Amino acid sequence: MINMRLFLRFYEDYFRIRYFDSQNLKPLLLAYFVTYRCNLKCCYCDHAHNNHSHKFPELDTVQAIEVLKICRRGIPAIAISGGEPLLRTDIDLIIKSARILGFKPVSLFTNGLLLPRYEKILDDLDFIQISLDTINEKVQDKIFGIQHSGLTRQLIDIITFYARQQQKRHFRINLNAVLIPDQLDDVIPLYYFASKIGVRLTVCPQLLDNGQYAPALAADQKYHSTIDRLVTLKSQNGRVMDTTEFLSHIREFRSFRCYPYLTPRIYPNGDLVGPCPVIAEKRYPMLELGSWEKAYQALITDFGKNYRCPSNCFLPCYLETSTLMIHPWQSLKELFRLNIKLKKVNETELMELFKGKKPYPAGNIQPELHKNPVVTPEAP
């Protein structure tokens, strides 16, 4: 099934770009980073190494849901991300609220290690994107960057366990692999693993902190041939989730016209960042402004209807959405491939979830994150 609201929004934007060369676009996807804390320290991760969580105190539950309400007035779909979003003990309330407010699809980006603790959220998600770069356990354990034996093995078990539940519970798992020079040989085996257990694969190149590509990767023949192979697998109707346009851009690190207003990003403290996290010249506090229209108008006033990016980075969510605007028919095919199922929404369930729950505090609670980063699923 295709999400009509997203479909109409997409084509409205497409015509604005095509015939008016306008950046006055209506956003497609809200990226809400609910926390910057994480229970891992992946070797390529900016959050893990620059400790952004101290700069961005988190909102409490009620505030976080208020931000969702404000943004829902202007944006049809949501991706909840982090840091590791499952470190928030109110993540079930946030996701359920996103569903009740009518975001469609609702996606969650996670490292998956705490999923068994919150597995009920799967009933409210359309997509769950789990980071896994390789099934080579030694390599992946090293990438995770913390001392915890058998972490990758446990993650693979978790993914395999929930992959079996996708059809019945109407959600989809995408594995997301960051392409780094040391693991390029492992990407196609990862693809076959994903196919075997019935999940899909997305990739993104390792990027520098400013979203630029690492020159070593761009010069690596193995990198090019890996992308070529993924393009072929995709054309054979394989389980590659990225668009062909996206793959061809990251293969050559070709510059592209970026439309950052399509994917507004909210930081853990509730600020909308303008025009994007790389340039980050302005912040708009959503709770203070209290209205999506006001925040969006301020963004357009500050950066203009015809904003042209001075630097061109390769942040996947901006590149993927912006390049969707180049080929409308291919994009339509991609929207169909999303195959979003209708899920029933039950508002009373939210009240049930609230009952007896300790309030999630604003600020940054810092439990000892890396001591026990994984929860194992219970047998069915």
Residue 56 lies near ligand SF4 (rule: CB under 6 A): no
Give the SS3 label for residue 266: strand
Give the span between the Cα atoms of 157 and 155, in whole angstroms: 5
Distance in angstroms (rounded) separating the CA atoms of residues 52 and 58: 11
Buried b (16+ CB within 10 A) or exposed e, 210-230: ebebbeebeeeeebeebbeeb
- Single residue of 31, 34, 42, 289 touching ligand SF4 by CB under 6 A: 42
The interface mask with ligand SF4, positions 86-115, x = CB under 6 A, is: -------------------------x----
275 binds ligand SF4 (CB under 6 A): yes
Q: Using the rule CB under 6 A, which residue among 41, 148, 294, 305 binds ligand SF4? A: 41
Give the distance between the most distant pair of CA atoms in the chain: 56
Among 28, 48, 86, 121, contact with ligand SF4 (rule: CB under 6 A): 48
* Of 82-90, 294-302, 337-345, 358-366: span binding ligand SF4 (CB under 6 A): 82-90
DSSP state of 271: E
Are the beta carbons of 247 and 204 closer than 8 angstroms?
Answer: no
Which residues from 309-348 bind ligand SF4, rule CB under 6 A?
309, 311-313, 315, 318
CB contact at 8 A, 131 and 112: yes
Query: Does residue number 205 form part of the binding site for ligand SF4 (CB under 6 A)?
Result: no
- Our finding on whether 47 is near ligand SF4 (CB under 6 A) is yes
Rg (CA), the chain: 20
| Interaction between residue 40 and ligand SF4 (CB under 6 A) | yes
Q: Which of 317, 141, 314 is nearest to 214 (CA)?
A: 314
* Interaction pattern, residues 129-168, with ligand SF4; x per rule: CB under 6 A: --x-------------------------------------
Distance CA 245, CA 231 (A): 10
Number of residues that bind ligand SF4 (CB under 6 A): 25
Contact yes or no for 252/316 (Cβ under 8 A): no
Q: Stretches 37-45, 286-294, 338-346, 369-377: which one binds ligand SF4 (CB under 6 A)?
A: 37-45
Rule CB under 6 A: choose which of 272, 279, 289, 324 binds ligand SF4: 279
3-state secondary structure of 172: strand
| Binding region for ligand SF4 (CB under 6 A) | 38, 40-42, 45, 47-48, 82-84, 111, 131, 211, 258, 260, 275-276, 278-279, 309, 311-313, 315, 318
